[in-house]
Amino acid sequence: MKTDINFKQLAKRTTDHRLKMRYLAVHHFLQGKNRTQIAEFIGVARGSVNTWITKYLNEGISGLQSKPNPGRPPRLTPLQEKEVEVFVMSNIESSQGGRLIAADIQQFIEKQFTVSYDLSGIYRLLKRLGFSWITSRSKHPKQSIEAQEAFKKVCPGNDPSHTF
């Protein structure tokens, strides 16, 4: 089989590692090597080389392109994710003090939607919803800024302008 496409050059130019291996497999196939030799040379299973060569022969160069991999579908619907977002925002802005931790969100989702998440899944969900997980020091609900400022003035060890 003769082709005008230089698969070796395509392999050099692509940044997609998987596509590069497919191009090299086809290049060696067109050079007359058998599929077992190609698999050993590239370091992949012979079945993979068979698949790539078959796709190339049936579909042409487009058969070698990577197909989109959508992954696992989300466990929550977009409406449920919006409810989680509202829950997080309402607890962030709450003046009750304390912190919102991932376990709180995990319990909310379990109770509200009967869907269980690992804590790592909670963090991924928050990232997908546009939140970054940065914690701040919690504030006591009865804290007084005036009392803190008065303490700084009374105790010289806490005054940043005081030198020893």
Cα separation, 22 vs 59, in Å, equals: 14
pLDDT in tens, 17-48: 999 999 999 999 999 999 999 999 999 999 99
Q: How is the chain split among helix, strand and coil, in percent rounded to 5? A: 60, 0, 40
Nearest to 143 by CA among 97, 108, 79: 97
pLDDT in tens, 79-128: 999 999 999 988 876 656 567 888 999 999 999 999 999 999 999 999 99
pLDDT range class, residue 156, cuts 50, 70, 90 = low
Q: Token match 């009967």: residue? A: 114
Amino acid at the residue 45: A
pTM value is 0.47
Cα separation, 72 vs 23, in Å, equals: 29
User: Where is 133: in which H helix or E strand?
Assistant: none
Structure tokens at 40: 């050993």
